[in-house]
Amino acid sequence: MKFDRDLFISYAHIDNESLTDGQDGWVSMFHRGLEIRLAQLRGEKPRIWRDQKLQGNDDFSDTILEQFPNLALLVSILSPRYVKSTWCLRELENFAQSAEAKGGLKIGDKARIFKVIKTYLPRDKHPQALDRLLGYEFFDIDDAGRPREFSRLYGADSEHKFWAKLEDLAYDIQKTLDLLEALPETDGPAVVPGPLAAQP
């Protein structure tokens, strides 16, 4: 099954604001690292998209929604702001609808939505479309019970954990793209023979 774009990164813009001058934001670093690692795993540059310029008064439907029927996968970067953003939740909902209409939202046990948890959020706050996914946690809970995001700002160990988790994500995305590419062109949910491991 063919798509025009491999991946859309859905995120709240406040989560890409840098805490220090002259540094890329968290989402920008995530995007760049994922793009490079996927290119190395797949042997070709992935077609990754995120909206970097859209503002609240732009025409959402013309700019984003028209892309979703030809989009293979969605990465949602979950945070407290994400779940309060009507914009982000619309992206999530509309991709789910488009995916269900082309190939299905799941390929066997593999979901076409990847939940990246940037900032700790209680499970009962996760959007319904993401609730059943374990996701990829880009944070630890320290000895005092406080969540600590994976970032170079917090030292070498935290940065190492960021890249290790991104490696897990890139590998799972690569496997899911391979599954999608192997499917015949058809409308509706895909049927994949044989057992598949569940996506984290």
On the question of pLDDT at 66 being above 90, the answer is no
Domain boundaries, the chain: 5-189
Q: Are strands 110-111 and 106-107 parallel, antiparallel or unpaired?
A: antiparallel
Task: State the pLDDT confidence band at 153, using cuts at 50, 70 and 90.
Answer: confident
CA 15 vs CA 1, 27, 47, 77, 108: distances in Å? 33, 7, 22, 9, 32
pTM of the full structure: 0.86
Q: Which residue has the higher pLDDT, 165 or 182?
A: 165
DSSP-assigned beta bridge partners for residue 71: 5
Query: Which residue do the tokens 């984290």 mark?
Result: 200
Task: State the pLDDT confidence band at 124, using cuts at 50, 70 and 90.
Answer: very high
Q: State in words which class domain 5-189 has.
A: alpha beta
On the question of pLDDT at 194 being above 50, the answer is no
Q: What does the pLDDT read at residue 188? A: 54
